[in-house]
Amino acid sequence: MDDVRWFASNAHTALVVPELRRLGLRIATEGGRPARVAVAMSGHVGADAWRFARRCGARLLLYLWDLPPTGMGSGRPDHVWWVANRFLRVPRLWNRYHRGGHFSVLRYIARRSEDVWVPSRITQQSVAERFGVQGREVPYCYDSNRFIQRAAAARRTSHDGPLTLVTVSRLRRHKNQAAVIRAATLVDRAVRVRLIGRGPQRDNLEALASRLRVSCSIETDADDATVTRAYQEASVAVCPSRFEGFGLTPIEAIASGVPVVASDIPPHREFVGTAATLTPPDDPVALATAIIEAAEAEPADPSLVADLTIEAAAARFLNHLRCLLE
């Protein structure tokens, strides 16, 4: 029997697995062999982990990154039951979650899990308010094997060439990439904007950049190496999101030794507040001013996110997993 069956929704949510194995845990990431604990590393794999736990008699740990307002709204959950090894859901006729099926089932799972972990205080608060569950704050990590401080020569900002502003995130409305394009028009020197990510806002962002005559590239097929180089080549990393559960992008940029300007939202204050310049999410003048100042300042100190490395997160996870493995 394994100690843990790990359910990951993507490569990032499995980053700590090799280190946890090195620390002595027997972890399977696929297959149906019994385990003592099933770990669902996001809501997207919560149902799969639930089914595994019910079949094998394992304890279930659910990691919830966020409960986005766009997915839940101000409504109430549908009625959900677990019957004959399947979820039975009866939708509400009105005043229900926007994505009623997903979040209603997730709420059901969270309320019956052995433990629920969250990455930040803001997610802890929203899980308590919306699901009635007291989540345990266990911050995760960035990929500390990939994002390392760039060479001193690369950190020097040229006063002759354009500023390169890099934003790495999904192209969705709440990620607020439009704020970077608008702020670029207020910077008193040549600016190049690089938006890296995929999502439904691509056409709108391209149209906005064209209308405002901002030099802007939108890269939807960037691989890991391209993202890593983008941080290293940036004059400033800009992270203008209106909502995050953890806020990975500014953490990666700080680890890369890049000056960072981020929106003044709870997870940014919690994890990068002393290493980044924080501005209101929808104030283009403040954002442009912060970008100019950041471009002339010393780059961020990577040691300020040392507690968010893979090794540090694995140590936190192991400490709390021991309770479930007893």
Give per-residue pLDDT as tens, 33-56. 999 999 999 999 999 999 999 999
- 37 backbone φψ class: left, alpha, beta (φ>0; ψ -120 to 50): beta
Q: Which of 138, 117, 145 is nearest to 311 (CA)?
A: 145
Query: What 3-state class would DSSP assign to 311?
Result: helix
| Cβ atoms of 241 and 261 closer than 8 Å | no
239-261 per-position pLDDT tens digit: 999 999 999 999 999 999 999 99
For 125, the enclosing helix (H) or strand (E) is helix 121-131
pLDDT tens track for 180-202: 999 999 998 899 999 999 999 99
Specify the pairing of strand 236-239 against strand 260-263: parallel
Range with the largest mean pLDDT of 154-158, 260-264, 293-297: 260-264
| Comparison of pLDDT for 73 and 2, the residue scoring more | 2
* Mean predicted lDDT score pLDDT of the chain: 93
pLDDT in tens, 105-150: 999 999 999 999 999 999 999 999 999 999 999 999 999 999 998 6
CB neighbours of 274 closer than 8 A, spacing ≥ 6? Answer: 304
Domains and CATH numbers, the chain: 2-141+309-325 (3.40.50.2000), 152-308 (3.40.50.2000)
The whole-model pTM stands at 0.92
pLDDT score for 157: 47
Separation CA 32–CA 55 (nearest Å)? 9
Give the pLDDT band (50/70/90) at residue 60.
very high
